[in-house]
Amino acid sequence: MAIQLDERTTVTGAETRLLMAECRGPSFPNYTLVAATECMQLMDLVLYNRLKNNPGQFMAKHAKTIIDIIKAPGQFAGFEKYPNYNGAIATNLQSMLNIANKSSDPRHQDFADFINAAIKVAKEVTISDPSGGIAASWRTQGASSPGSNFVKFKTVGGNDFYRLK
Amino acid sequence: MRSLLGKKPLRKRCYRGLLVAGILSLSVQSVFGATFNVMDDPIFGTAKTTIEAYARARHAKGVNNFCVLGQLTEDRGKSAWIIWRQKKEIILWEGQNLVSTRPRRLIKLDKDVVASEAKLHGSSYLVTRQWVRDLISECDKAGLQAVVGPKG
């Protein structure tokens, strides 16, 4: 059965798309499903932590849902106008789905596993916070800190994860 | 934004097709972190052809100047920042085929740069002006300079 993402307007649909866009997928050298899954779990944690911990500090003052967190200005590239989102991201996600659903493509299982991991993480209960505080941000690996009130605690899946100081 | 990109693209004569002039160094620790010579790497050594293909896929017009800085990451990984001067962009290249898999991060220098860390508010992608300056400075010193000319 073909893999499909939840509707864009649902919380799980929005989060799945963000996870697929932000974590390194099978198109990247050195990709592993284990690292990608951990990356997604930490992102899921960050999103819910933001919702629970004064979302105004993350430009989402009146956030009621994860979608409000995702579309907060200046937070997640290409998602500010969600459910409309950046065309290049949409193209990448569709390419991943196409490969995953084409059984004759030798890469299809890797892509299917990656997408299913994103769907699962978006739907499952958030993991316990391993940061020693409140995990609250991620940055592209090697980029600078998201601000002076953040401390890096983990690098995985092409992203550095930060907790609040 | 002009000032962020330095004085101007490096002076180079434009030939048809791709010209690359690189002043490269061994892996070194810099203010920008540990860097590596992309041309010595089996994956990132395709920088010249990758950039040309990517520029063509994005319908680049005229002469386009790039600088590529390889960066070693904390988990012993490698990535590279590509500065595209004419487009005013900084592109994260993680060794993938940039044409079929667009970058996870594309920083637009006229939109995605803030004055200081205080303005980031935990953003996953905005960068500070100082970070951009440091990257450009380091790339000018240790990166690979590339020019993509008009298609011949």
HEC sequence for chain A: CCCCCCCCCCHHHHHHHHHHHHCCCCCCCCCCHHHHHHHHHHHHHHHHHHHHCCHHHHCCCCCCCHHHHHCCCCCCCCCCCCCCCCHHHHHHHHHHHHHHCCCCCCCHHHHHHHHHHHHHHHHCCCCCCCCCCCEEEEEECCCCCCCCCEEEEEEECCEEEEEEC
Closest chain B CA to residue A74:
B123
Tokens of residue A160, six digits: 């550095």
- Residues B73-94: what's their mean pLDDT? 92
- Contact call for B33 and A142, based on CB within 8 A: yes
- Shortest Cα–Cα distance, A61 to chain B (Å): 12
B79 touches chain A (CB under 8 A): yes
Indicate if the pLDDT at residue B1 is higher than 50: no
**Between B25 and A158, residue with greater pLDDT:** A158
- Shortest Cα–Cα distance, A58 to chain B (Å): 5
* Chain A residues with beta carbon closer than 8 angstroms to that of B94: 24, 28-29, 158
B140 touches chain A (CB under 8 A): no
User: For residue A148, what pLDDT band results from cuts at 50, 70 and 90?
Assistant: confident
Chain A residues whose C-beta sits inside 8 Å of any chain B C-beta? 21-22, 24-25, 27-30, 50, 57-59, 74-77, 88-89, 91-92, 95, 136-148, 150, 155-156, 158, 160, 162
pTM of the entire structure? 0.89
- Shortest Cα–Cα distance, B13 to chain A (Å): 33
Q: Domain-by-domain residue ranges, chain B?
A: 2-6+17-148
d(CA A9, CA B132) in angstroms, rounded, equals 35
User: For residue B20, what pLDDT band results from cuts at 50, 70 and 90?
Assistant: very low
Give residue-wise pLDDT tens across range A97-133.
999 999 999 999 999 999 999 999 999 999 999 999 9
d(CA A60, CA A75) in angstroms, rounded, equals 9
- Contact call for A74 and B121, based on CB within 8 A: yes
- Contact call for A24 and B33, based on CB within 8 A: no
- Shortest Cα–Cα distance, B99 to chain A (Å): 11
3-state class (DSSP) for residue B10: coil
* Chain A residues with beta carbon closer than 8 angstroms to that of B77: 30, 141, 158
ipTM of the complex: 0.93
